[in-house]
Amino acid sequence: MLEHIGRYIFKERIGVGGQATVYLAEDPELHRDVAVKVMHQMASEETAYLDTLREEA
C-alpha cells in the first residue's frame, strides 16, 4: 500500500475499481480525513477519460 502522496498520509485502502484505487487518508493541513483516488496507469493514459475526470473535479 502507498504510504503518502504529497501531504496526504494514507491510512487504508477503501475501494478498488477498474480505473482507480481509493484510499482513506489524513490531510494534516486541514486536520481531517479525506478520500484520495489514485488512477491506475492504463486509465491515466486515456485522453477521453481524463477529460471527463477534469469536468467532474
Range of the domain at 51: 4-56
Write down the residue that cell numbers 477519460 correspond to.
49
Overall average pLDDT of the 28-46 stretch: 85
Phi, psi of 40 (to 5 degrees): -70, 155
- Count of domains forming the chain: 1
pLDDT of residue 29: 97
* End-to-end Cα, the chain, rounded Å: 25
**Spatial contact of 57 and 49, defined as CB atoms under 8 Å apart:** no
CATH number at residue 23: 3.30.200.20
Q: Which amino acid is present at 40? A: H
Encode pLDDT of 18-29 as tens digits. Answer: 888 999 999 999
How confident is residue 16, by pLDDT bands cut at 50, 70 and 90? Answer: very high
Residue 27 sits at φ, ψ, to 5 deg, of -105, 100
